A and B are shown apart, each in its own frame.
Chain A
Amino acid sequence: MHRIGDTPGTRRLLIGLAVLLAALFLLLPLVAIFAQAFAEGVTTFWANLSDEYTLAAIGLTLFVALLTIPVNLVFGVFLAWLVTRFAFPGRRLLQTLIDIPFAVSPVVAGLVYLLLYGRNGWIGGWLDSHDIQLMFAWPGIVMVTLFVTCPFVARELIPLMQAQGAREEEAAVTLGASGWTVFRRVTLPNIRWALLYGVILTNARAVGEFGAVSVVSGSIRGETNTLPLHVELLYQDYNTVGAFTAASLLALIALLTLAAKAGLEWRAARRETAA
C-alpha cells in the first residue's frame, strides 16, 4: 500500500532537494569561510592567527566559556531537579521563567545588564563608587553569557527527568541512601548524557554569543574583545582575510562541538543496544 506521494520518484526528488538545500545553505558558507581565510595563503592565515589581539580574543572567549559551563551545569541540574521532583506553588511559573533568555533578544539582555550594572544603573552607581568594574570588563561578559546560556542544561534535563519519574530515587531512599548518594548513584547516571548534551550546547552558544556581549564589552582590544566581536572589528576594518581567519576559528570550534555531540549520541546509542 502506498501513501499519497510515496513513490520512488517523489522520494528521490525530496531527498535531492533536501541535500541540495543543505549544501547550499549550510555547507557552502562553511566552505567559503575556510576558503576566504586561506585566500592569501597559509602564511597570511598564520600571521593573522598569531596576531596578538586575535590570540587575546581566543583566550578571552575560551575563558568565558570555561567559567560559564560549570556555573550553568550546577544551576541547570538544580533547577531541573527542583522542577521535576518537587511540587510547589509557582513551579509552572519557574518553568516559564527558565525560557526567558530564549525569548528575549540578546541585545536587550545586554542592555538590561547595562542599565542595572552600568554607572548610572541601580546597582552600578554603588559599584562605581566602590571602584568595582563589572560592565566593560570580563565579569560583565561572563554575566551576560551566563544569562543567554542558562536555559540549555535545564531544558535538556527537564523532559528526560519528567519521563523517568522519581521511582528509582524513591526506591533508593527506602533502601536508606542519603540525598547525596541518591543524586550521585541514581539521578546523575540517568541524566548524564542529557547533561553533557546541555553542556555542549551551552559551550557552543557561549563561544558564539555576539549581541549581548557586544553591548557590555566596550570592545577594548586585547582585553574585552571576544572572538565574534573581533571578527566584526576586522571586517569593519576592511581586513576581510583576517576577519575570516577569526571566523574560521569559530567555525572550527563549532565543528568540534558538533563532533563531540555526534560522538556522544553514538556512544549513547551503542550503550542502549548493549543494555
Chain B
Amino acid sequence: MTTKTIKASAAGASFLPAVFAVVLGLGIITVTGHVQASGLHDAAHDVRHATGFPCH
C-alpha cells in the first residue's frame, strides 16, 4: 500500500511541470486571443484577426 502511494504520488508529481506549463500556455493564449476587455481587445485586434481568433 505504502509503495503504491509513493509510486502514485511520484508519477503524479512528475507530470506536474507539464500540467502547469499547459495551464500557463493556455492562460496566455486566452488573454491574448479571447479576453474581450476593451484595452486588451484594441491592442490585440490585428493579431486576433491575423491569427484566426474570433475577434468581435
Please determine whether chains A and B interact with each other in the same assembly. Answer: no
